[in-house]
Amino acid sequence: MASSQQPDKAKPHVLLIPFPAQGHVNPLIRLAKALHMRSFHVTFVHTEHNHRRLLRSRGPGVVEEVPGFRFETIPDGLPLAELDGIQDIWKLCEATRRTCPGHVRELVERLSRTHGIPPVTCVIADGAMGFVVHVAKEMGLPAYLFFTTSACGFLAYLNFDQLAKRGYVPFKGK
């Protein structure tokens, strides 16, 4: 008879990485739960600041591990003094873009060496965390972007460059 570890090694293991903001985390956590219900091993990655906020608001039970579903944290590059994270979205984007790629790589490597956990076979990142795709591809992993916006919001993102080129943004103050 095969060992109890054998079936887990055959399970696909998806790493999900949301942008550290509530409107991004909630849809990805729903996706993570849906994949877990379909026999995926799931690792959900929070940034350190988001993880602390989650624990303060919902308590430590919110991240209790269940078989095949785990939470991990990576640094986001924000100063420790920012207890509730940063409200400046551009600074947060820059901090995650600069800091997170190396930590994502280290996390994938560490998970592949962890006994009882299947190696990561796929990465799903929030559309605002596009740098994760480059890390995954460098590691030979398939990577997908998950956009948490509405169709209207997504079209706006696709046209930001046109808004700037035509002088509509930034807004001129009166």
Any catalytic annotation for residue 134?
no
Q: Which helix (H) or strand (E) holds 136?
A: helix 131-138
Q: How far apart are CA 135 and CA 89, in angstroms?
A: 22
Q: At 69, which amino acid appears?
A: F
Residue 126: active-site member:
yes
Distant-in-sequence, close-in-space partners of 93: CB < 8 Å, separation ≥ 6: 128
Name the token pair of 44: 């959900």
CA-angle at 50, arms to 146 and 156, nearest 5°: 40
Query: Which listed residue (8, 13, 24, 134) is catalytic?
Result: 24
Exposure string of 65-93, with b = 16+ CB inside 10 Å and e = fewer, is: eeebbbbbbbebbbeeeeeebbeeeeebe
Considering the candidates 41, 46, 103, 126, report the single residue annotated as catalytic.
126
Cα 18 to Cα 21: distance, rounded to the nearest angstrom: 8
- The catalytic residue positions are 24, 126
